[in-house]
Amino acid sequence: MDKVNLEDKFALFSEHWSPKIVGELNGQHVKLVKLKGEFIWHKHDEEDELFFVVKGSFKMEYRDKTVQINENEFLIVPRGVEHKPVADEEVWIMLFEPTTTLNTGNTKSDMTKAVLDKI
């Protein structure tokens, strides 16, 4: 029941592609993540995923199109849809997604984070 300040939380970590849990409600997690560079193609069979840009911008690549998302914009990636985030510069993102969501979805790789820190 205390508030969460996004700037304060983002100041606590610097690594990329490593989501941190900052809230939980209704079986969903609120996560913060910093992205830079190119992620891997993946999908989530059971989970829709919301990406809200707090600072910077990035591109979400789908198999048939690319969407650029800027500050104060969000994108919902429906379950089952292959996607790949690409960030030319560092971007700060708030995620809303079910607590069961694995960052790399159906694709296991060195970038898979099975256990996330709560900050």
> Site residues (CB under 8 A) for a copy of itself?
1-7, 23-28, 30, 47-50, 54, 62, 67-70, 72-78, 81, 96-98
Largest CA distance in the chain: 42
Return the closest-CA partner of residue 57 out of 87, 33, 94. Answer: 87
Min dist. Cβ of residue 34 to a copy of itself (A): 15
What residues are paired with 97 via a beta bridge?
A: 29
Q: Which is nearer to a copy of itself, 71 or 109 (CB)?
A: 71
Integer Cα distance of 70 and 57 in angstroms? 4
Min dist. Cβ of residue 45 to a copy of itself (A): 13
Q: Which is nearer to a copy of itself, 4 or 109 (CB)?
A: 4
